[in-house]
Structure 1
């Protein structure tokens, strides 16, 4: 296959590689700023739209069930989440983010996240093109 006709899978691999390989410094900065392991922030982000069960949290974060329970217990002890009975199934509990959890999450998301050097080095025309393509993918 010629370089000028990459498949969607090849382009996706390039995008994910760029993002995954450049986020560690931001994750460390978030951890330093909030005092929470990044896994806790990831849980709070998943809870922002609404309550989830422990199983749903585990699936959404890619964590195993025991690690999810430990993390949620920690967030609960810190007052950042609360467990409540699921109104659709009283045998299950849902986890919700608290106001304090939203405050921590807002602080975490306000952590500066500068573009990786490869993106910062793009010309203004290339940045406009990339921006237009990414906006197209968002919709």
Structure 2
């Protein structure tokens, strides 16, 4: 499927790129304020949904499993995650967030102000529409 390249689409793509850039900058700063790297914070955020195998974390973050091993080692040393055997396959190690890790991740998430101010300029109906449009755009996209 070819991508439209009309001026409106190009402007939307540019605006989305700016939004992502601002988000990453603030996310990394919020993580650093908690002595976490951006990657460590992202792993904690992924694990809020439940334990995951390290291979799945690597796939989701688009990196090598060996990188995830180092990230998980450092998080585990700080008591933010644990490794446990998968009940379905004892050879597979699941990474699970601890209560301390969940708290750190939630505090980081709550500290992200970049979206709150711009979103405050939108009414509830507009925010719901934006949410629905973003969901529609992301339907079928593998994370």
TM range (shorter): 0.7 to 0.9
TM-score relative to the length of structure 1: 0.76
RMSD, aligned CA? 2.8
Unaligned residue ranges in structure 1 (runs of 5+): none
Unaligned residue ranges in structure 2 (runs of 5+): 137-143
TM-score relative to the length of structure 2: 0.74
Q: Equivalent residue of 1:23, what SS?
A: helix
| Alignment of structure 1 residues 1-139 onto 2, 5 Å | 3=7, 6=9, 10=10, 13-14=13-14, 16-115=16-115, 127-128=122-123, 131-137=127-133, 138=135
Could you say which residue in structure 1 is the equivalent of 2:139? none
Aligned length: 129
In structure 1, distance between residues paired with 2:47 and 2:18: 26
Which of the pair has more CA radius of gyration?
Answer: 1
Quickly say closer, same or farther: Cα 1:130–1:116, change in 2 above 3 A. same
In structure 1, distance between residues paired with 2:97 and 2:6: 49
